[in-house]
Chain A
Amino acid sequence: MSARFLIGAALLALAAPATAQDMAITGATLATGDGSDPVENATLVVRGGRVVAAGAGVAVPAGMQAIDGRGMWVTPGIFASITNLGLVDVDAVSDSNDVDADDSPFSAALDVAPAINPAAQDMAISRAGGVTRATVTPGAGSSIFAGQGAVIDLGADFDAVTRRRAFQYVEMGERGARLAGGSRTSAHALLRNALREAGTYGEDAQLTGSTRNADVNTGDDVPLDPRLTGRAERDGDVLLTRFDAAALVPVVTGRQKLYVHVERAVDILSVLALREEFPRLDMVLIGATEGWMVADRIAASGVPVIAAALNDLPVSFEQLAATQSNVGRMVDAGVTVAIAGYGSSGDHPRGLPQQAGNMVALSRIPGATGLTWGEAFAAITSVPARIAGLGAGAGTLAAGARGDVVVWDGDPLELSSAPVRVFIDGIEQPLDNHQTRLRDRYRTLDESQLPPAYRH
């Protein structure tokens, strides 16, 4: 983190040096992101890019620069899950869009890390909205396997990727069925076959095997043919390229997380059941619009969920039971739930606080299930960071956590609030971008002396 190269305008905008500054913020309302309620008149101390202490009654170390945080809120940065950050400039300009690889010969092997562009405007705009860390996922273009996503930070430098190949992403609902050839049956066959092929992918890079299996008793009069549970028998009986198979080896062994997109209640159960065959899978459910209907079973599985907060329409036949209470009901059942999801063209990572705030609003509607303020804020900070594999090292203000800090001009979940200062790993970040430059240029429409093009 020390040798960061700042990008263009960001360098000019930065008053602070590109190294982490030791600092304290005093007198602020502090929310730590761990699910607790905000604390007033609190102090935060950051040293060497890490949080040292946060809370009421924390003393400012002698000689440390102190920022007056009175009237402000101080929180960990927003953690945005399953974004396209850095993969796209303009969605509908296909040349600028690296999300899907529809015509690629590869699938599971695709790795977003080398494609992520930290200079993309969406990165700067999200940063100005208080998003400091994110996961970036490819979209599934030619296969149920979208490829491998990364964990990034949103710092104004060229070192965005903090963990590449953090997870594999697979489509197992309606979308997966279409990609697999027209049915969920094919999606499940493809997934099982791929995981078995990866499981037999030996150290010698041979994709074949010849192990015999015994009959499997299914409890009724139709035994399962052993070849369905065994390994591919012939050299020609493999569907994955060697590269894709290799990419799935860490999934089968549980060393890489498997993000599975499903919405329908029964699809969720079918995915959870995969662990009976592949016990080491480390799964995360993505979407889970009907998760509330099987919340107890998701909770029992220990599999976390990343869900869109505000889905409440039967957009498809796999989302008939959609309700804004989905997140709250799952949380109440004991499921670990992060909020993310960008269904409309207007949904961006910087809108996550609004989604979370709406969960608090629900708690005042009879019959609905919402979240407490602390739960809602955790669902866009510590919970997604933990799901992404960062433990308590990000998304919180616990001692030792990364110094990802946002100073807001009010309650971060409220519509009227915005960040005034953003720090990533203790380094203050520029908040300007294409939008702020346009705003400043068109503050006035006066062109009596020169056209707006000369205002820069």
Chain B
Amino acid sequence: MHSTARAVIALAGAATLAACTAADTSSPRSASSAEAHEYPDTPYPSTYERYPGVPTAIVGATVYDGLGGQIDNGTVLFADGEVVAVGDASLAIPVGYTRIDGTGKFVTPGIIDIHSHLGDYPTPSVDAHSDGNEATDPTTPEVWAEHSIWPQDPGFSRALANGGVTALQILPGSANLMGGRSVTLKNVPSRTVQGMKFPGAPYSLKMACGENPKRVYGGRGRMPSTRMGNFAVNRETWIQAREYMAEEDPDRDLAMETLAGVLRGEILIQNHCYRADEMAQVLDMADEFGYRVSAFHHAVESYKIGDMLREHDVCSAVWADWYGFKMEAYDAIPENAALLYQAGACVVIHSDDENGIQRLNQEAAKAQADGARMGIQIADAQIIRWITFNAAKAMGIDRWTGSLEPGKMADVVLWNGDPLSVYSRPEMVWIDGATMYDMNNPQLRPVSDFELGQPGEGDTK
């Protein structure tokens, strides 16, 4: 497997990104020690290639580096798809760079949404497009979200233009305990899903606690119909996976391949879970079977167990202030993110929503303000980290994107004002150094096939 995985990534990398070569030596997949298979380890490989860009220097802007650093009157240099340098006004601009005046403006890394259903629940939201939940069995680790995604979902362009989103994880829904594999995308328009796939990004398995699985299956008179049923089905399935891994030459089994990938540490866990007590139980289940939860999603009660989450190094991917729409969201509070930060736990702001993904910066700003009002002061630059580097980390792509550091992908947003203000919007968005959106250029505003010839085609949206 080791060599096959390398070969696939190297093929994609050679033709595409310089940054992608990093995957050859440090892909999470390279940690695997499994023997070679007769089939490719990375089927449906990424065909994404970065678009042409010019060496660019953004000067005079307030720069948030995504890691918690802030540079006033900063300079950001990128070329050949990569960040070259980030510094203050004294940073020399090499010959041949196009200067962009960022005076009064702000620069952040590209915004990253760890929880999106763009493409698998696209708009128009008609039944024919409902491809997010394979709700025919409580455990479907065999399904892959990428096989549901419609690249023509107009939501991708809104997330780019209004939200500055440059990378996003598309998850299966939460009807099932084990909903299937996620896929991480570059937010570039493409004819194919493969043309959007983030090269080298690890897969994640979507899991779900609580109300949804027990309601969906209990309502059909089958297991699980209770929270204890949820855990029993999960544990039986992990036991099955261990048995599969112990077999010497097992038959192909898509479900077990995913679970074995989790247990080998190659596939991350993104776990939909609202209640604190359930998250604590899941942490024990992870210990029981030897896997790690990368992030709890929705996690409205994380503030009750910030200490445990810090100790287990598990991120909480949360909304700023959603509450009350279901029983397990009843104890949601707007100070959740700030309390987690205070406890030293990892915070990610997520959307789970085709509208919310357009305003992750605003959601983060609200969470900051709610914290400040209870005495938890968090610097602006740290807040930006919640929607950039921390998301990248919990998705396993932080070595390539999520911060403005030399050698990383030039995924960059220039905002026309403070991104934590309601009055600001993205002015320009670069993905791997290519200008994919420019507020001042209608030609640089993507329009999906679905929108052609329709009222409002090419509108500012």
Interface residues of A (CB under 8 A from B): 89-93, 121-122, 125, 265, 290, 293, 310, 312-317, 320-325, 343-346, 348, 351, 354, 357-358, 360-362, 364-368, 409, 413-418, 434-435, 438-439, 442-443, 445, 452
B335 at the interface (CB under 8 A from A): yes
Binding site secondary structure of chain A: loop
Q: How many interface residues does B have (CB within 8 Å)?
A: 65
The answer on a CB contact under 8 Å between A312 and B373 is: no
- In the complex with contacts A310-B355, A313-B355, A368-B460 CB distance below 8 A: yes
Closest-by-CB residue of B relative to A311 is B355
The answer on a CB contact under 8 Å between A360 and B423 is: yes
The answer on a CB contact under 8 Å between A323 and B355 is: no
CB proximity of A317 to chain B, nearest CB, Å? 6
* Chain A residues with CB below 8 A from B124, complex form: 314-317
Q: Could you tell me the distance between the alpha carbons of A254 and B424 in the complex, rounded to whole angstroms?
A: 43
Q: Could you tell me the distance between the alpha carbons of A102 and B224 in the complex, rounded to whole angstroms?
A: 28
Q: Could you tell me the distance between the alpha carbons of A93 and B442 in the complex, rounded to whole angstroms?
A: 46
Most chain B beta-carbon contacts within 10 A, residue among A91, A354, A415:
A415
- In the complex with contacts A323-B461, A438-B331, A442-B339, A313-B123 CB distance below 8 A: yes
The answer on a CB contact under 8 Å between A316 and B125 is: yes
Some 29 contacts from A to B, beta carbons below 8 A apart, are A89-B324, A90-B327, A91-B324, A93-B327, A290-B455, A293-B455, A312-B461, A313-B158, A314-B450, A315-B123, A321-B454, A322-B461, A325-B460, A344-B353, A346-B325, A346-B353, A346-B356, A348-B321, A354-B362, A358-B359, A361-B422, A361-B424, A364-B417, A366-B440, A416-B368, A416-B420, A439-B335, A442-B304, A445-B305
Tell me the residues in window 315-336 of chain B with beta carbons closer than 8 Å to chain A beta carbons. Answer: 319, 321-327, 329-335
CB proximity of A418 to chain B, nearest CB, Å? 6
CB proximity of B115 to chain A, nearest CB, Å? 13
Q: Could you tell me the distance between the alpha carbons of A452 and B306 in the complex, rounded to whole angstroms?
A: 14
The answer on a CB contact under 8 Å between B461 and A415 is: no
CB proximity of B330 to chain A, nearest CB, Å? 6
The answer on a CB contact under 8 Å between B422 and A413 is: yes
B95 at the interface (CB under 8 A from A): no
Closest-by-CB residue of A relative to B376 is A443
A-B contact count (CB 8 A): 157
Closest-by-CB residue of B relative to A357 is B422
Contact of A414 among B154, B327, B355, B422 (CB under 8 A): B422
Q: Could you tell me the distance between the alpha carbons of A415 and B451 in the complex, rounded to whole angstroms?
A: 32
- In the complex with contacts A313-B123, A313-B354, A323-B373 CB distance below 8 A: no
The answer on a CB contact under 8 Å between A314 and B154 is: yes
CB proximity of B189 to chain A, nearest CB, Å? 16
- In the complex with contacts A345-B325, A354-B362, A417-B369, A320-B455 CB distance below 8 A: yes
The answer on a CB contact under 8 Å between A92 and B325 is: yes
The answer on a CB contact under 8 Å between A322 and B456 is: yes
B275 at the interface (CB under 8 A from A): no
Q: Mark B327-366, 1 if CB is under 8 A from A, else 0.
A: 1011111110001000100000000011110110010011
Tell me the residues in window 408-461 of chain B with beta carbons closer than 8 Å to chain A beta carbons. Answer: 416-417, 420-425, 439-440, 442, 450-451, 454-456, 459-461
* Chain B residues with CB below 8 A from A91, complex form: 324-326
The answer on a CB contact under 8 Å between B326 and A312 is: no
Most chain A beta-carbon contacts within 10 A, residue among B326, B356, B455:
B455
Binding site secondary structure of chain B: loop
CB proximity of B123 to chain A, nearest CB, Å? 5
The answer on a CB contact under 8 Å between B126 and A415 is: no
The answer on a CB contact under 8 Å between B125 and A367 is: no
Q: Could you tell me the distance between the alpha carbons of A452 and B416 in the complex, rounded to whole angstroms?
A: 45
Closest-by-CB residue of B relative to A351 is B321
B162 at the interface (CB under 8 A from A): yes
Q: Could you tell me the distance between the alpha carbons of A51 and B47 in the complex, rounded to whole angstroms?
A: 65
Contact of B422 among A345, A360, A438 (CB under 8 A): A360
Q: Could you tell me the distance between the alpha carbons of A357 and B425 in the complex, rounded to whole angstroms?
A: 12
Closest 5 CB pairs of A and B: A357-B422, A321-B456, A346-B322, A321-B455, A92-B326
* Chain A residues with CB below 8 A from B354, complex form: 313
CB proximity of A293 to chain B, nearest CB, Å? 6
CB proximity of A412 to chain B, nearest CB, Å? 11
- In the complex with contacts A343-B355, A344-B356, A346-B353, A445-B343 CB distance below 8 A: yes
* Chain A residues with CB below 8 A from B368, complex form: 416
Closest-by-CB residue of B relative to A363 is B423
CB proximity of A262 to chain B, nearest CB, Å? 15
CB proximity of B307 to chain A, nearest CB, Å? 5
B74 at the interface (CB under 8 A from A): no
The answer on a CB contact under 8 Å between A439 and B306 is: no
The answer on a CB contact under 8 Å between B125 and A346 is: no
* Chain A residues with CB below 8 A from B322, complex form: 345-346
B34 at the interface (CB under 8 A from A): no
Q: Mark B255-291, 1 if CB is under 8 A from A, else 0.
A: 0000000000000000000000000000000000000
